[in-house]
Amino acid sequence: MIEVHDGLFCLHTKSTSMLLRRTAFGHLELVHYGAAADAADADALAVKRTIAYGCATNYAANDPTYCLDVVPLAWSGEARGDYREAPIEWDTDLGAASDFRYAAHEILDGAAIMERLPQARTPDQTLAITLTDEAGAELILFFSVFGDTDVITRRAVLKNTSDTPITVKKLMSSLLDLPGRFVMTTFSGGWIAEARAERVPVGAARVVNEAVTGFSSNRHNPGFLLSEPDAGEDHGRVYGFNLIWSGNHYAAAQRSFQGITRVMQGVSPADFAKKLAPGESFCTPEAVMSFSDAGFNGLSAHMHDFVNRHIVPAHWQERERPVLYNSWEGCGMDFTERRLVELAKKAAKLGCELFVLDDGWFGARNSETAGLGDYAVNKKKLPDGLTGLADKLRALGLDFGLWFEPEAVNPDSDLYRAHPDWAITEPGREPVYGRNELLLDLTRPEVRDYIVDSVGAVLDSADIRYVKWDMNRHSTALGAKAYDYILGFYDVLRRIFAPRPEILLENCASGGNRFDLGVLCFGPQVWASDDTDPIERLDIQNGLSYLYPLSCMGTHVSAAPHSQTLRQTPLSTRGNVSFFGLLGYELDLKFLSSVDEKDIRSQIEFYKKYRSLFQFGRFTRLPAPEGETRWQVAREDCAAAGMFYRLAPAAPGMDELRLADLAPKARYTVMARQQNLRVGDFGELVRYVVPVRLNPKGVVMSTADSIYVMPDCAEVMEASGAALMSGIRLENRYAGTGYNENIRMLRDFGSRVYIVQKQKEWGDSET
């Protein structure tokens, strides 16, 4: 809800408020952003200004206390006394200075629609404040309120109202001056190591989170947090920020000597320059922000609800996603229809619902060096074409999904031979390649038309229900071209998928090189990482979980030892980690033993039973001892908790399971998901449980290993919600002194998943 009282703008969500005030000189002061507050609180909440600071540049001769350097602002400019970082840099007829002051405002129901940029759906209201600058420019700041999810979004539109061109070199989507000390958490990394949470105190030196690879990037996710230094997962004040944008981005935080932290976010100004002719406008992407005084988990809950309700396409909102099988890690580009159908038969038998044919199905695409760009089916591999394969999959009860990488081209392709100028290169220089690819110039309409037509034709040629849209190199396009490239990318996605809303679109860019809110506006899920090692995935999924819900993370089970880490992890752990996301399988099913098959079947059955809980339940990062990770998802009457261990200690102590979000008085049954131990994992230790001496590497043992399993400890307990939230004690862990059915056998990289079911007589009780 938005109210305006005589120059005071109050934006309220369910439990937060933002108060903005027009100062006597027309600047936009940020009076408050945080917990709910009233208009009547504005004077008390405002930062006081009763003294003149030394070494200050005064804005006005008649008020020595009005120095822009010390006013907490929601927008600022340059060369008028605010020496903090400016949200705008430009060249105008009046030079580089800027001073935007209030001209008008308007409250709109719902959103102010953007034509070319994706934006969050269905806000309650939008406040548009128009500021003007003497150089001949109008700046409209849009604030949209998403009351149900405690999110406010912001963006800026700059219009050249002068009669000479203006060059914009930097224009942020949002600027906030927040009183207080903060720690900034960013989610950084690289290929197969995305979204590692890193914490840096924000001090007098500027902290920057920026991507300049052309995409939102696996190096620096655009989302970040600012928290008070003592905040934790379940307590303390935390702000969260993100950007609905898939290109170069920039965010900075810096504390002034008065203790006010300036935080801004928007498109990266690196090499950026956009010339605006008279009458032309430039529109920034929409920035997303939220506040919680219930710690990081509280903040994550707001962001998750926001993505689920206001970002993903309406068709996919709360719609359960299929368990998929993807051909990539199992067979790469080396397949025939026969091999695929064999895999599909197994996948269907195991319970998968969707079969995704990954890279290698078209043109001369038999390796990474050729074929990209030519979307004609390779008839040697698929003699009956895509329809033939789709029909065979349908007969097995599977939906069909297909991989594309439409933005890139291999120089060794018919497309490149016909249109070498469609590829982005740097004039007069030798091209630089990434994975033997160049990017197509999506700023050109004919290139976009080619992609829309060729991908659209394939999608209409067979019964295709899912698309994996990949992109495997960094861009070299600079500045404004990098910005226009992303607009071109959005145009292509809109034209392909808006008329086909029921196709499930999963974005991917070498894994998580484009995990952002921009792509989520077009398709509800993103392949989180090419790293499918479950232990690495704990950090990646944990990092992403701060700002993105499980319903948008592709999480697949792959082979062990893992191709990137050589780590040998139990199948149970590979499944348990993948349950916390969108479950899929990517391994060669041909070599599964019968016990592996049985285990996978039971994993899929389990996931399907609790699918809506895992995909849409409230997610919490639970407290865990050093080196362990614990997660929970909860809905009204049921929760699931995952406990993930790394190295197994000798003589482990007792383990406590402490849950969250339960009804304190209701009674719950806690049950460990039944998982099995592999006979082969015990090597010569089997001598303790079988009367004969067996060669641990012999035929008897390896046969036993593929047929028999030993059930892991079956734990069942009953407790009140209050006891579970205070912490219940689990069965003892194995300590080298014997094995029985009440010992939790947790070796290196072991894990357990518990289902916590509210007992029937407590119905939907919240007490």
Minimum CB–partner distance for residue 554 and ligand DGJ (Å): 9
- Chain positions 708 to 727 lying near ligand DGJ, rule: CB under 6 A, are none
CA angle, residues 661, 662, 666, in degrees to nearest 5: 165
State phi, psi for 619 to the nearest 5 degrees: -95, 135
Is 530 one of the catalytic residues?
Answer: yes
Alpha carbons 687 and 739: distance in angstroms, whole number: 12
CB of residue 555 vs ligand DGJ: minimum separation in angstroms?
13
State residue 299 phi and psi, 5-degree precision. -65, -45
- Provide, rounded to whole angstroms, the least separation between the CB of residue 359 and ligand DGJ: 4
Q: Are 20 and 31 in contact (CB under 8 A)?
A: yes
CB 34 within 8 A of CB 291: yes
* Smallest separation (angstroms) from ligand DGJ to the CB of 402: 11
Nearest CB to ligand DGJ, comparing residues 305 and 358: 358
Pick from 510, 603, 615, 629 the residue near ligand DGJ by CB under 6 A: 510
Residue among 447, 456, 446, 435 nearest 407 (CA):
447
Calculate the CA dihedral of residues 63, 68, 71, 77 and round it to 10 degrees: 140
Element (H, E) at 220: strand 220-227
According to CB under 6 A, which one of 82, 233, 337, 359 is a site residue for ligand DGJ? 359
Interface with ligand DGJ, residue 581, by CB under 6 A: no
Q: What's the min distance (Å) between Cβ of 453 and ligand DGJ?
A: 23
Tell which positions 447-506 bind ligand DGJ, by CB under 6 A: 470, 472
99 lines the binding site for ligand DGJ (CB under 6 A): no
| Residue 29 contacts residue 21 (beta carbons within 8 Å) | yes
Structure tokens at 183: 């720690």
Verify binding: residue 507, ligand DGJ, rule CB under 6 A: no
Task: Name which of 358 and 637 has its Cβ closer to ligand DGJ.
Answer: 358
Tell me the C-alpha to C-alpha distance, in Å, between residue 659 and each of 163, 634, 760: 63, 10, 20
Site for ligand DGJ in 17-36 (CB under 6 A): none
The residue length of the chain stands at 767
CB of 349 within 8 A of CB of 379? no
Build a one-symbol-per-residue string for 616-655: x at contacts with ligand DGJ by CB under 6 A, - elsewhere. Answer: ----------------------------------------
The residues with which 224 forms a beta bridge, in sequence order, are: 186, 241
- Contact map string, positions 316 to 355, toward ligand DGJ, x by CB under 6 A: ------------x---------------------------
At its nearest, how many Å lie between ligand DGJ and the CB of residue 528?
10
Residue 466 in contact with residue 453, Cβ under 8 Å?
no
With a CB cutoff of 8 Å and minimum separation 6, the contacts of 501 are 313, 314, 315
Least CB distance to ligand DGJ at residue 358 (A): 5
For residue 624, the tally of other CB atoms under 10 A from its CB is 15
Nearest distance in Å: CB 64, ligand DGJ: 59
Distance CA 592, CA 706 (A): 9
Give the C-alpha separation, 486 to 249, whole Å: 12
Q: Using the minimum distance from each CB to ligand DGJ, give the nearer residue, 289 or 589.
A: 589
Phi (first) and psi of residue 123, to 5 degrees: -70, 160
Tokens representing 742?
């009440």
Asked if 531 is part of the footprint of ligand DGJ (rule: CB under 6 A), the reply reads: no
Q: Does 582 bind ligand DGJ (CB under 6 A)?
A: no
CB of 115 to ligand DGJ, least distance (A): 31
Smallest separation, CB 440 to ligand DGJ (Å): 17
Candidates 120, 442, 508, 517: give the one binding ligand DGJ (CB under 6 A). Answer: 508
Is 675 near ligand DGJ (CB under 6 A)? no
Active-site option among 470, 516, 596, 637: 470
Residue 553 in contact with ligand DGJ, rule: CB under 6 A: no
CA angle 204, 189, 511 (to 5 degrees): 145
**Active-site annotation holds for 712:** no
- Alpha-carbon gap, residue 320 to 729, rounded angstroms: 34
Report the C-alpha gap between 563 and 533 in whole angstroms: 8
Give 586: exposed, middle or buried? Use CB within 10 Å, 0-12, 13-18, 19+.
buried
* CB closer to ligand DGJ out of 170 and 321: 321
Smaller CB separation from ligand DGJ, 359 or 655: 359
Residue by residue, DSSP assigns 377-414 as: B-TTT-TTHHHHHHHHHHHTT-EEEEEE-TTEE-SBSH
* Spatial separation of the C-alpha atoms in residues 597 and 707, rounded to whole Å: 10
Per CB under 6 A, 511 contacts ligand DGJ: yes
Does residue 512 touch ligand DGJ according to CB under 6 A?
no
Residue 42 structure tokens: 């504005």
Residue 92: how many CB atoms within 10 A of its CB?
Answer: 21
Pick between residue 305 and residue 533 the one whose CB is nearest to ligand DGJ. Answer: 533
For ligand DGJ, which is the closer residue by CB, 227 or 510? Answer: 510
From CA 143, how far away is CA 295, in angstroms rounded?
A: 24
The answer to the question of residue 516 lying near ligand DGJ (CB under 6 A) is no
Q: How far is the CB of 334 from ligand DGJ (least distance, A)?
A: 12
Q: Is 358 an interacting residue with respect to ligand DGJ (CB under 6 A)? A: yes
In this structure, what token pair is assigned to residue 697? 């590497």
What are the two backbone dihedrals, phi and then psi, of residue 208, each rounded to the nearest 5 degrees? Answer: -120, 135
Query: Is residue 406 part of the contact set for ligand DGJ (CB under 6 A)?
Result: no
Distance CA 142, CA 6 (A): 19
From the list 150, 454, 457, 466, the residue with the least C-alpha distance to 309 is: 150
Q: Which of 403, 416, 614, 734 binds ligand DGJ (CB under 6 A)?
A: 403
As given in the structure block, the two tokens for residue 714 are 């079956």
Q: How far is the CB of 191 from ligand DGJ (least distance, A)?
A: 9
Nearer to ligand DGJ (CB atom), residue 286 or residue 359? 359
Residue for token digits 């002068």?
162
Nearest to 545 by CA among 314, 307, 313: 307
Count of beta carbons in the 10 Å neighbourhood of residue 745: 18
Instruction: Choose one: 23-31, 383-391, 442-450, 507-515; the region binding ligand DGJ (CB under 6 A).
Output: 507-515
Cβ nearer to ligand DGJ, comparing 25 with 191: 191
Residue 333: CB minimum distance to ligand DGJ, A: 8
Catalytic residue among 359, 441, 484, 530: 530
The residue of the chain with the least Cβ separation from ligand DGJ equals: 359
Of 18, 68, 24, 63, the closest CA to residue 38 belongs to 18
Residue 92 sits in the site that holds ligand DGJ (CB under 6 A): no
Residue whose CB is less far from ligand DGJ, 85 or 470: 470
Q: Which is nearer to ligand DGJ, 179 or 214 (CB)?
A: 214
Nearer to ligand DGJ, 472 or 572 (CB): 472
Residue 21 or 537 with smaller CB distance to ligand DGJ: 537
Contact status: 530 vs ligand DGJ (CB under 6 A): yes
Residues in binding contact with ligand DGJ, number by CB under 6 A: 11
Neighbouring residues of 615: CB distance < 8 A, sequence distance ≥ 6 = 320, 321, 550, 551, 582
Q: Which residues bind ligand DGJ (CB under 6 A)?
A: 328, 358-359, 403, 470, 472, 508, 510-511, 527, 530
Q: Which residues are catalytic?
A: 470, 530
